[in-house]
Structure 1
């Protein structure tokens, strides 16, 4: 393997170690994997809609609330709005500085919702169809 190929392999392995995506998070939830899904957006965004099963822990409150909201030793997956927002990166950094094992859900809530994954708001479940530009319409997963 060339030095460039070796560097590329380390880079992509590192990304997969610290990033995940909505369909993989949903598959992990369905498989019963133990982790806490954290929505780190503000109150208005949380009320508007969130991934079903997530807890609300805004980035600004992580330092004071994480220990009460997330058991020690339990892995964490964080998400914010979407690919145009680095809020989940900020939250992942804050949680990792507190000692948590953290992965960032790339695509954020936008792609969670666009892929037709379970969404809820303060009134309960919200039914959304999959966007054919982000998820297969006739399959459970993209198989990528």
Structure 2
């Protein structure tokens, strides 16, 4: 009795198509390690880090140097020469995707930070904060 491979149910792309797809993914995503290396090296030209969650979340923890621009409040009056690196809580929150989409629809260049501020903190990278983090509740909230 032979079983079909679930892995190969959908054939792999040819190498050129795979390279194009993966290049497109990398054009949209930044990982925390690359971002912290830029920040540590002082390489801050050409992009801005954007916290897309609500101001309460921004106050409780944010990536150093980030600005707060909740996706619901985005307008066309931004600098179109910059790349906007959007982040939110985690892979379980889509505020960064909503913010990046809104900015892209307004004509801006965008990327998303993989894993959001949760991945940033798990990696041990520093955060700025104005207020203590909210007490966890039984109902998770992404503050978006």
Identify whether the pair has TM-score above 0.5, normalized to the shorter chain. yes
TM-score, normalising length: structure 2: 0.75
Q: List runs of 5+ in structure 1 lacking aligned partners.
A: 127-144
Encode CA deviations 1:3-32: one digit per residue, 9 max, x unaligned.
622221111110011111111111122332
Q: What is the aligned-residue RMSD (CA, Å)?
A: 2.1
Corresponding position: 1:61 with 2:73: yes
Output the CA distance in 1 between the equivalents of 2:31 and 2:102: 20
Aligned to 1:29: 39
Encode CA deviations 1:74-129: one digit per residue, 9 max, x unaligned.
111000101111211111111111121111111101011111112011059x9xxx
TM-score, normalising length: structure 1: 0.75
Partner SS state of residue 128, structure 2? strand
Aligned to 1:135: none
Q: Which has the larger radius of gyration?
A: 2
Output the CA distance in 1 between the equivalents of 2:115 and 2:82: 23
Output the CA distance in 1 between the equivalents of 2:57 and 2:105: 25
Q: CA deviation at 1:71?
A: 2.5
- Alignment partner of 1:17 out of 21, 27, 32: 27
- Alignment partner of 1:90 out of 85, 91, 98: 98
Aligned to 2:118: 110
> Number of residues paired by the alignment?
120
Whether the 8 Å contact between 2:59 and 2:131 is mirrored in structure 1 is no
Higher helix share: 1
